[in-house]
Amino acid sequence: MINKSARRAAGVAVVLAATAAVLPVRGYEPADRDADLFAQCLTDPAVFCSVSYGTGEAVPAPIGVAHPPTLLATNGVPGCASGPARPVVDTTGPALSIIFPADRPAPPEVTFEWQHLDGSEDPIMGSREASADRTFALEAQEIGLGAGLGPGESYRWRVHTTPWDADVTEWTQWCEFTVAAGLVDLREATDLAAVQELGVVPARRYPVRLSVRQWRLVTEVLDGGDDGADHDFDGSQQEIRDRLRRISASLRQQTSGGRTTVTLTGDEWASTAEAVAGMAVSWDMMYEEEPEVGSDGTAYWTVVDRISADLGGPAHPGLGAER
């Protein structure tokens, strides 16, 4: 929680001292104890003063309970429930929403917070501005969760409804929900967009059949080169190359002896198809700029389409490219 800075309190301490070196010949008579010591230090050259101040600890702003909004809803299910009454949502990316009544000023934005019900992970927060109908809505993918939430797992959420620098900060009550079991768990997907476009389950294994020539083309793409290695400051590109080369090694092992059917996980196929599609785009661009190269990316796109067909995916996936 972000607290409003507390008002600072200062104290002034006056220290009086006299030394014989600066006293006049006559004896020094201290001023009346009830006199204004600060005034004395300003007027008496025999008195030395020092002033200090201290700052107190920040005092947390009061926390209030938000005035009831018109509607709190979890993926379209109205209300705010907990315990056995919590709703079960049929998506790993549920929408959370809050609507403010017409007679209550709506803030320019609100902050959603949600976390595992068991507290096993840190809370995640994301802000949202109001729509024309005074509705604030947020989906799991919008606040950094990417692949969404876990099937069969329970969560809770609430909304911060006042500016963070307000004298009193207001939160709604906690609302709970459970993600339906049996949904595809995308949290471990390496290339999420490709997994979703091909419609595969990341952990499930799928067989794909290609010709010997096509397998050779695929392994050449996956083996790749080290272009751009000098600019791989955080090592992420090397990690991607290493992963693709491990997949290539598996392909080579499975296609030894002329075999043409290979089995990989849906996650591995998504990465493979995406890499081949990237090569297809490169050849298409090269051919468009220099037709004398003699060929475009058709051979690579054919492989992508064949992989997708065996996976039960779309006929002509783009995997990030327009086709």
Q: Tens digit of pLDDT for each residue in 60-75?
A: 544 444 455 558 999 9
**Residue 65 DSSP SS3:** strand
Whether 323 maps to a domain, the answer reads no
Asked if residue 199 and residue 126 are part of one domain, the reply reads no
| pLDDT recorded at residue 277 | 98
Asked if residue 67 and residue 54 are part of one domain, the reply reads no
Question: Cα–Cα distance between 181 and 259 in angstroms, integer?
Answer: 38
| pLDDT recorded at residue 106 | 79
- Asked if pLDDT for residue 17 goes beyond 60, the answer is no
- Asked if pLDDT for residue 81 goes beyond 90, the answer is yes
Q: What is the pLDDT of residues 100-151, one digit of tens each?
A: 887 777 788 899 999 999 988 899 898 888 887 888 988 866 655 667 889 9
Question: Measuring CA to CA, which residue among 184, 117, 201, 192 is closest to residue 153?
Answer: 117
Of the residues 59, 77, 95, the one at which a domain ends: 59
- Asked if pLDDT for residue 1 goes beyond 70, the answer is no
Whether 50 maps to a domain, the answer reads yes
| CB-CB contact of 301 with 277 (8 Å) | yes
Of the residues 179, 203, 220, the one at which a domain ends: 179
**Residue 177 DSSP SS3:** strand
* pTM of the predicted protein model: 0.65
List all residues 6 or more positions away from 208 whose beta carbon is below 8 Å from its beta carbon.
261, 262, 263, 264, 269, 306, 307, 310, 311
- Asked if pLDDT for residue 275 goes beyond 90, the answer is yes
Question: Cα–Cα distance between 242 and 191 in angstroms, integer?
Answer: 15
Whether 167 maps to a domain, the answer reads yes
Question: Measuring CA to CA, which residue among 196, 178, 180, 86 is closest to residue 141?
Answer: 196
Asked if residue 101 and residue 49 are part of one domain, the reply reads no
Mean predicted confidence (pLDDT) in 269-276 = 98
Asked if residue 170 and residue 129 are part of one domain, the reply reads yes
Q: Is the dihedral of CA 122, 128, 134, 140 positive or negative?
A: negative
Asked if residue 55 and residue 70 are part of one domain, the reply reads no
Ramachandran region of residue 40, left (φ > 0), alpha (ψ -120 to 50) or beta?
A: alpha
Of the residues 150, 179, 208, the one at which a domain ends: 179
Range of the domain at 298: 192-311
Cβ neighbours around 99 below 10 Å, total: 19
Asked if residue 75 and residue 138 are part of one domain, the reply reads yes
- Asked if pLDDT for residue 307 goes beyond 80, the answer is yes
Please give the residue that has the higher pLDDT: either 296 or 235: 296
Token output for 231: 């600019």
Asked if residue 225 and residue 168 are part of one domain, the reply reads no
Question: Cα–Cα distance between 273 and 301 in angstroms, integer?
Answer: 9
Whether 317 maps to a domain, the answer reads no
- Asked if pLDDT for residue 93 goes beyond 80, the answer is yes
Asked if residue 110 and residue 164 are part of one domain, the reply reads yes
Asked if residue 240 and residue 219 are part of one domain, the reply reads yes
Asked if residue 22 and residue 83 are part of one domain, the reply reads no
Question: Measuring CA to CA, which residue among 4, 15, 47 is closest to residue 28?
Answer: 47
Q: What is the pLDDT of residues 143-188, one digit of tens each?
A: 556 678 899 999 999 999 887 777 878 899 999 999 999 998 998 8
| pLDDT recorded at residue 23 | 36
Question: Measuring CA to CA, which residue among 200, 146, 168, 172 is closest to residue 72?
Answer: 172
Number of structural domains the chain divides into: 3
Measure the CA angle with vertex 233, ends 227 and 236; round to 5°: 75
Please give the residue that has the higher pLDDT: either 98 or 37: 98
| In the block, residue with structure tokens 């969760």 | 145
With cut-offs at 50, 70 and 90, classify the pLDDT of residue 90.
very high
Whether 184 maps to a domain, the answer reads no
Question: Measuring CA to CA, which residue among 228, 226, 313, 233 is closest to residue 277?
Answer: 313
What percentage of residues in the chain have a pLDDT greater than 90? 53
Token output for 174: 């906690």
Least confident piece of the model among 11-15, 92-96, 251-255, 274-278: 11-15
Contacts of 33-39 spanning 24+ positions with Cβ under 8 A: 38/12, 38/14
Whether 185 maps to a domain, the answer reads no
Whether 217 maps to a domain, the answer reads yes
Q: What is the CATH number of the domain that holds 171?
A: 2.60.40.10
Whether 321 maps to a domain, the answer reads no
| CB-CB contact of 152 with 180 (8 Å) | yes
Asked if residue 129 and residue 30 are part of one domain, the reply reads no
Least confident piece of the model among 139-148, 164-173, 266-275, 296-305: 139-148
With cut-offs at 50, 70 and 90, classify the pLDDT of residue 84.
very high
Q: What crossing angle do the helices spanning 212-223 and 266-289 adopt, rounded to 10°? A: 90
Q: What is the largest CA-CA distance in the chain?
A: 116
